[in-house]
Amino acid sequence: MRALTGMEPDRWAEERRRGMTIDLGFAWTGLPSGETVAFVDVPGHERFVSNMLAGVGAVPAALVVVAADEGWMPQSAEHLAALDALGVTHGVLAVTRADLADPGPALARARAEIAASSLGSVEAVAVSGVTGVGLSGLRGALDRLVGRLPAAVVDAPVRLWVDRSFTVRGAGTVVTGTLGAGRLRVGDRLEVAGVAEPVRVRGLHALGVARERVDAVARVAVNLRGVPRERVGRGWRC
């Protein structure tokens, strides 16, 4: 993610110290066509599968990552099973650390495993985040993937999967998540699963920019009026 986007998705000091993703991370980058693709970076370790699931609930596509020097791992199978259960049908395979080992065996095994899932046959690219080899090819593969995605349903009820909630001084409750369907506007009234009273959209951000309106599919931060942070947490839906 760092090599591809120039952003640091690991938000916690412990993650950076241990070199292991623990919680959800977020990054985005421009593609050769001018489109922008956003990522929810999910942990691979089996202890953090619940965090992984919170991040993939509304994704339309997946970038499956397998290391050339480690190959297909138990957590690879767990992640693929989750994507298959959610019915995700679009993806790209990146075999990383290609500077440390021949990517061929890992690529062949991963493509075979993925082909038996809802993702089916996927484009695969061998890359190295250290040397940069393959990154342009990966950007091209992601561009082609975005071009194959079905058009988002914007004339539909809003469906927002919440993966973070926090309080901003002077603004109140803010939630972030993936807007899977619909169109969000400042001033909209939303229903939150498990919350009796409707809430109002006080403000919107998408990829760090304030917006008056955001259409699916998109990563969004929503400032909500009418609900404390404790009542709308990870795993909730608007």
Within the chain, all domains assigned CATH 2.40.30.10 are found at 159-231
In the chain, which residues fall in CATH 3.40.50.300? 2-148
What pLDDT is recorded for position 47?
Answer: 60
Q: Given pLDDT bands bounded at 50, 70 and 90, which one contains residue 198? A: confident
Beta bridge partners of 204: 211, 222
Percent of the chain with pLDDT over 90: 54
44: region left, alpha or beta (phi > 0 left; psi from -120 to 50 alpha): alpha
pLDDT-based confidence at residue 167 (cuts at 50, 70, 90): confident
- Domain 2-148 grouped into CATH 3.40.50.300: yes
pLDDT confidence tier of residue 219, bands split at 50, 70 and 90: very high
Query: Which among 1, 140, 128 has a CA at the least distance from the CA of 68?
Result: 128
What is the CATH class of 159-231?
A: mainly beta
Average pLDDT of the chain to the nearest whole number: 87
C-alpha distances out from residue 43 to 52, 111, 152, 193, 226, Å: 6, 21, 27, 26, 32
The tens digit of pLDDT for each residue in 38-87 reads 998 887 666 656 666 666 778 899 999 999 999 999 989 998 998 999 99
Q: 35-49, 88-102, 173-187: which has the highest mean pLDDT?
A: 88-102
